[in-house]
Structure formats: C-alpha cells, structure tokens
Amino acid sequence: MSGAGSAPARLAPLDSMARLAPLDALRGLAIAMVVLSHVAGPHLVSIGIDLGNNGLGTAGVLLFFLLSGYLIQGNLERQPLPVFLSRRLFKILPAYWLNIAAILALDTLGVGVGAGEAGFPAISYAASALMVTDLLGVEAVSGVFWTLLIEVRFYVFIALYHRLLGGRGLPLVVFGLIALNGLSWGLRGHGSALIVFFPAFYVGVAIHRAERSGWAGRPMALAAGVIAALAASLTLFADPHFAGSGLLLILDVALFVGALRLGLRGRVLEFLGRTSYSTYLFHPLVGVAFDHLFGRSEGFVADLPWMAVALLLSIALGALLHRFVEEPMVRLGKGLEGWGAALRRPPSPPVPGESAG
C-alpha cells in the first residue's frame, strides 16, 4: 500500500515517540466509558438511564480496538516479530493471570464471582488461563475477557500478516473478514464477536497510514472505505447486545482523528490511559466485592456514595497493579530481550597483539 511505502525520513518523527499523549488521553476516555458502564450502569437503571444498553461500554471497547490497531502498525514497522510478540505477552499475561487467581480466591471464599453457589468449574479456569474459552465453548471466568481474546488473536494474526505480506492487501483482509461474518450470520443466524469486531483493529491501521500520508491520497481513501464497510457490517451483523455499534464506530473514529489532529491532552485522562489495562481487568471484582459486602441499595441516591467509592477504588487498584505488576513485567521482558540478543551476538574478534591471558 502507498502508506507503507512512504519515505523513511517522513515516518521518523512519529515512530520516534514511544507514547503519544493524545493516545493515552483517548485510552483514558475509553476506560472511563467501560468502567462507568459496568460500575455505575446498574445503579442508574432506577432513574431510567441504562448505560449498558445505550452503547457507552461498546463505544469504549471499539475505541480500545482502534487504538490497538493504530499503535500496533507502528510497532510492527520497527520491531522484529519475536520482540513484538514477546512485548505484547509480557504486557498482557502477568496481570491477566493474576486476575484469574484473584477470581479463584474470591470464588473459594464464596464471594460469588462465578454463576451459582459453586462458582466456576475447573475447565473455565483452565480455558481462561489459556485463552481458549471461545474455542472450547466454555464460560470465561470474567465477562471482560472476550475483548482480550479478540485482541491477542489480532496480535498474532497481524504479526504473521505483516511478516508474510509486508502490510499489503489490507482491503482484501478487511472485506474478507466482513464477508466471512456475513456468511456466518447467514448460516447460523447470528454473528461471531471475534469476526464482527476483528476489522476494527484494521480501522486503526488505516488511520495510521492516512495520518502518515498527510490525510490525503490513496491511504485516506482506503481509510474512508474501511470505516464505511465496517460501520455497515456492524450495523447489519452485530448481535442485539451491540446494537448501534456501526454508528458508535463512526463517532469513535471522529473522536480519534480529532484527538490526533488537535493534540488532546489532560493529566487525568493520560493517567487513566496509562493504567487502563489493569483497571479494565480488575474493576469487575471491585463491583462484585461491594455487592457481596454491602448489597445493592434501593434507588439511585442511596447507591450514589458506594458507586463513587467503587469507581475510585477501581482506578486506584488499576494504578497499583500497573505500577507493581505491569511495569516490572514489561521491564523483565525487555531485559530478557537484551540477554537473548547478547547470547546470539557473535564474539568480538581478538585485538591484534592482545594477550590471551
């Protein structure tokens, strides 16, 4: 594609920045949407506001997918495939497995994370740990894991795609996935969350290429086509739970592009963005713990203080886990990269005249 073939001198300024503030701010908005939908949503139903069904959480998830596609495109251009996959796994898996261990502990204590009194069966824990619940058709131990299954599969898929095709053929991939989802809908009467949302990452990839081209030319036209096709696909084939996701995608894209071009900043949003992964994983447990300890009150006003405390605790827990789990594991992964590179490096030739002793 023409975006991938731009001159290196033009690409360097964007690639040299490991973390752009607008992207952190956007990630902060995304996690705020999701957490508010999950934690506050049940308490607001009593006054006629249903955050779960009006798409706030779906909009947040779609925004996360756009961000991942945008960032992964840049990472693939400057990281060898083993380094790319290693960094993704060291970022995702430690906090993910810790989350599963926490759910198991709460289930053992009878807090009621799982369905029913007995909690989750052993197969759910094993399949969740291996990220194969969808393949085995068993229930995951957390309702938020479905997005991670999609994201991890995207990492592997796009890494192989980039290695084999060098970034070419993006329209074929996107329209092929949409056609596959349409076929699934026609044969089964419902779509697949994996196939429905998978092209959303490629919207992020297309935006990355359009930005690199100066928002003009063929990459810009490609981005517009991918966005329109996916919005139509989500409108036609998304399950009722995700009703309106086609429109939400368009709104998210407008927000995304506007934030990039205007340089969206904000300390609070950037902080939420940096700590969003652990917050995403663990905020459901905060809600479960509160429900178990205090129960649900009658009405919005009585629930408001606990709702606020739950939101703040979710953010604080996410920040702590980011600081003491995510960051050390990422550093460990990078350290192992350096150690492995040192082992693979051929020994330096002896300096003439230098004594072997």
User: Structural domain boundaries of the chain?
Assistant: 19-340
The pLDDT of residue 276: 97
The pLDDT of residue 300: 38
pTM of the model: 0.86
Q: What would the mean pLDDT of 166-183 be, rounded to a whole number?
A: 85
Q: Residue 322 pLDDT more than 90? A: yes
CA distance 220 to 211: 8
What's the pLDDT band for 95 if we cut at 50, 70, 90?
very high
CA 127 to chain centre: 20
Residue located via tokens 């947040």:
60
CB 91 within 8 A of CB 330: yes
CA distance 231 to 240: 15
What's the pLDDT band for 346 if we cut at 50, 70, 90?
low
Distances (CA, A) of 254 to 250, 260, 261: 6, 10, 11
- Least confident range from 41-50, 129-138, 149-158: namely 41-50
Mean pLDDT comparison of 8-22, 60-74, 280-294, highest-scoring range: 60-74
The pLDDT of residue 3: 37
CA distance 187 to 140: 25
The larger pLDDT score, comparing residue 305 to residue 295, is at: 305
Distances (CA, A) of 251 to 39, 254, 264, 342: 23, 5, 16, 47
The pLDDT of residue 25: 95
Q: Residue 18 pLDDT more than 70? A: no
Q: What would the mean pLDDT of 166-193 be, rounded to a whole number?
A: 82
The pLDDT of residue 13: 41
**Tens of pLDDT, residues 200-230:** 999 999 999 999 999 999 999 999 999 999 9
**Tens of pLDDT, residues 98-120:** 999 999 998 888 876 655 556 89
What's the pLDDT band for 289 if we cut at 50, 70, 90?
confident
CA distance 233 to 245: 10
For 156, residues 6+ apart whose C-beta sits below 8 A from its C-beta are: 85
Round the average pLDDT of the chain to a whole number and report it: 82
CA distance 176 to 173: 5
24 token code pair: 């952190």
The pLDDT of residue 243: 81
